[in-house]
A and B are shown apart, each in its own frame.
Chain A
Amino acid sequence: MTSSLILSVITFIYGFSAALYVASWIFKKASIGKAATWITLAAVVGHVAGILLRWVESYQMGIGHAPLSNFYESIVFFSWTLAVIYLVVERAYQNRVIGAFVAPIAFLAMAYASLSPNINDRIQPLVPALKSNWLIAHVIACFVGYAAFGIAFGISLMYLIKHSGRDRNSRLLALFPEQRLLEALNHQMIMFGFLFLSIGIITGSVWANSAWGSYWSWDPKETWSLITWFIYATLLHARMMRGWHGKRLAYISIIGFGAVLFTYFGVNLLPGLHSYSQ
């Protein structure tokens, strides 16, 4: 399978771009940062080519389906979305330090998908429960949401680092965006992620109703996605109505992403309906 090979190579390109973003931040070299942007862009293009090729390969194997059907494919899609959203943010805010905190997430996710012995990267046929048009909508919405939360997580880390930096003018913090901007960006990413998480939960729920005859059955994955939703809903209300800001919101954003990770990885350790996505 050529697509798996392409995606493995892409993993290293992400690693390289992440290293460049960090280097450009630490050594304050704008040229390295520019290179990092172009390399990330190349990785994103190669990445989508790998995903599309995997789609084609599945048809060649006679079990054609969108490459969004198992754990491996979902992580691959997550990293791609994360990289795309990041590039948009970088372009809009013209700041590459964020890349030093976000690009490693894309790299680590890809590395985990490609290298972990527990993850099967073969193209598998769809079991009956997955044969639904809701599959694509559900997976795309969830992982776009997760990717946005991933970026919010990286930005919240930056906020906390900037905030705790005793010397506000320290060399490393100088290139950070202003706190105000980091905070606004965190909030924007969370609103974006929340909309998509809601769509993801809703499409999953409609799908469950057509597959099993019940739109909500409190299975662990459903429940954890709702827990994640509650956490981000808390953040949105606390900020909007109670004027919470700064460190508090950064912490909730980090806890929220922890819940995302548990929904994604931890729940597979628990029994439930989503067991096929292991």
Chain B
Amino acid sequence: MKPKDPNSPIARIWDFFSSVRLTVVLLLTLASTSIIGTLIPQNASPADYFQTYGPFLFRLFSILDIFDMYHSWWFQFLLLLLTVNILVCSLNRLSGTWKIVFRKNPSFDIDRFRKIPNQTVFTDSRSMDALKAIYVPRVKRRFGYVRMEDTEKGFYVFAEKGRWSRLGVYTVHFSVILLLIGALIGSFFGFEGFVTIPEGEAQSQIHLRKTGDVLPLDFAIRCDSFHVSFYESGTPKEFRSDLSILVGENAVLKRSIRVNDPLHYKGISIFQSNYGKLPPNIITLNLVSEETKMEYRKELSAGQKIDLPEGAGTFVFKDFRNRYPFRGQDLGETVIGTLIAPNGNSEEIVLPLKFPGFDRMRKRALVFSVEEINPRYYTGLQVSKDPGVWVVYSGFMIMILGCYITFFMSHRRLCIEVTPKGNSNRVLVTGTANKNKLSMETVVSKITQDLAA
């Protein structure tokens, strides 16, 4: 793959990218710059940054894209350099490896094996033919490929296994490239958005997280109901949205989603993200007459006007608030209504749920309190599409496989040379491995014991 003329500019660029020194520099640069984004919160509001860092640092960090550094031009550029580096390094070395791995008869140089420091020697008094008959099958037990050849006076056995494991490292590099391709596909053809839908309502457009733009969908998502449950300790146990996918007026799919259990429809995934409480639609009022001691219950919906008993006028359910400050104290969830007396005077009525006796303070004939509210939730959904995710996932699997091959398998070669020596035979056992040489030493000594036995 390397260009022919070593002085051409392309050859120089090629050389630059084929160096592992560059890999080391890039990996360390990526590692150290990545720290910045974990110390400075990412994608917060500019006002917060300005307040925290002051005008100078704010300007500097803005120019360097520190507030969204993992998507900044320079960080992406480092990733690009690493990708090219991986590609060039792999291509550079692959042709050599390819020649070793894909050949019918492995080459074998006995002189090289004689020089290997990892060797054992012993003598065996059995006949040459007997040794051949014993050695070959014993070596076959441990090695996939075994070849026996006669020499002038004796013979040698050459064996090897795990030749293909030399490809492991290319597999890992390929998987990294797949991850980056998958991420690119995702960022070009996918989106990440969110939508909040009140119970009983449907939405057919979402907001994109990055830009805040509105994105219309081909279908609508209806939240039929939302449920939240808690453990006794008060920590949340489950968030569940019962959703329907609507195309036109038809519900084409009905399904409940939970955290860790999303819904997929036409390449778009819908995740449970958050939830919130909405003002109730319907409340039940309890009215007690101070004069007649009669109790009345009235159900009314938001904005509805009702006639009050005993000719006390009309009442409108105007508002619901989650907090209501009163004399420096928060009364919590509170219904606010307007009472219109028969003479036309109107008066605001405050009905905190936690304090049913609160309305007594007005000292009027009719005492109001809220007996029940129908809480209504909205569900917050993450809606995203990532056509690159399967490329990324295949990258994940290939990476695990490749790491395993690279780290724990090696190309092991063994050579046994038998030469006559006096009345006996001299047996030389040597072996090499491209990785994990220490364990090859163990293999050589084990084989030696095996043969001598």
**Which positions in A face B, CB cutoff 8 Å?**
63, 124-125, 127-129, 131-132, 181, 184, 188, 191-192, 194-195, 198-199, 202, 205-207, 209-216, 218, 220, 223-224, 226-227, 230-231, 233-234, 237-238, 241-242, 259, 267, 270-271
Task: Known A206-B396, A230-B27, A237-B23; judge A213-B271 contact (CB<8 A).
Answer: yes
Task: State whether B260 touches A131 (Cβ < 8 A).
Answer: yes
Task: State whether A195 touches B259 (Cβ < 8 A).
Answer: no
Residue ID in chain A nearest B382 by CB atoms: A213
Task: State whether A198 touches B400 (Cβ < 8 A).
Answer: yes
Task: Known A212-B271, A227-B34; judge A125-B262 contact (CB<8 A).
Answer: no
CA distance A132 to B24 in the complex (A): 37
Nearest Cβ in chain A — how far from B319, in angstroms? 32
Q: Is B438 part of the contact surface with A, judged by Cβ < 8 Å?
A: yes
Task: State whether B42 touches A218 (Cβ < 8 A).
Answer: yes
Task: Known A212-B382, A224-B38, A237-B27; judge A128-B236 contact (CB<8 A).
Answer: yes
Find residues 18-34 in chain B having any chain A CB closer than 8 Å to their own CB.
20-21, 23-24, 27-28, 30-31, 34
Task: State whether A128 touches B23 (Cβ < 8 A).
Answer: no
CA distance A242 to B192 in the complex (A): 42
CA distance A181 to B437 in the complex (A): 11
Taking A195-B404, A223-B35, A241-B23 as known contacts, 15 extra A-B pairs with beta carbons closer than 8 A to each other, sorted by chain A number, are A125-B235, A128-B238, A131-B238, A131-B260, A181-B438, A184-B438, A195-B400, A202-B396, A209-B389, A211-B260, A213-B383, A223-B34, A227-B34, A230-B31, A230-B34
Chain B residues near A195 (CB-CB < 8 A): 400, 403-404, 407-408
CA distance A20 to B357 in the complex (A): 71
Chain B residues near A198 (CB-CB < 8 A): 399-400, 403
Find residues 397-433 in chain B having any chain A CB closer than 8 Å to their own CB.
399-400, 403-404, 407-408
Residue ID in chain B nearest A271 by CB atoms: B41
Q: Is B39 part of the contact surface with A, judged by Cβ < 8 Å?
A: yes
CA distance A124 to B38 in the complex (A): 28
CA distance A184 to B437 in the complex (A): 9
Task: State whether A234 touches B24 (Cβ < 8 A).
Answer: yes
Chain B residues near A218 (CB-CB < 8 A): 37, 42, 70
Nearest Cβ in chain A — how far from B41, in angstroms? 6
Nearest Cβ in chain B — how far from A72, in angstroms? 16
Task: State whether B238 touches A63 (Cβ < 8 A).
Answer: no
CA distance A238 to B22 in the complex (A): 11
Q: Is B205 part of the contact surface with A, judged by Cβ < 8 Å?
A: no
Task: Known A129-B259, A132-B260; judge A215-B403 contact (CB<8 A).
Answer: no
Chain B residues near A124 (CB-CB < 8 A): 233, 235
Residue ID in chain B nearest A205 by CB atoms: B396
Query: Could you say which of A184, A191, A214, A267 contacts B38, with CB atoms under 8 Å apart?
Result: A267
Task: State whether A192 touches B27 (Cβ < 8 A).
Answer: no
Chain B residues near A227 (CB-CB < 8 A): 31, 34-35
CA distance A160 to B151 in the complex (A): 49
Q: State the 10 A-B residue pairs at the shortest beta-carbon distance, nearest first.
A: A230-B31, A128-B259, A191-B407, A241-B20, A220-B38, A213-B271, A213-B382, A132-B260, A234-B27, A202-B396
Find residues 300-351 in chain B having any chain A CB closer than 8 Å to their own CB.
none
Task: State whether A128 touches B260 (Cβ < 8 A).
Answer: yes
A-B contact pairs, 18 of them (CB 8 A): A129-B260, A131-B238, A194-B407, A195-B403, A195-B404, A195-B407, A212-B382, A213-B384, A215-B389, A218-B42, A224-B38, A226-B34, A227-B34, A231-B27, A234-B24, A259-B31, A267-B38, A270-B38
CA distance A193 to B93 in the complex (A): 26
Q: Is B231 part of the contact surface with A, judged by Cβ < 8 Å?
A: yes
Nearest Cβ in chain A — how far from B226, in angstroms? 13
Task: State whether B269 touches A213 (Cβ < 8 A).
Answer: yes
Q: Is B135 part of the contact surface with A, judged by Cβ < 8 Å?
A: no
Task: State whether A125 touches B231 (Cβ < 8 A).
Answer: yes
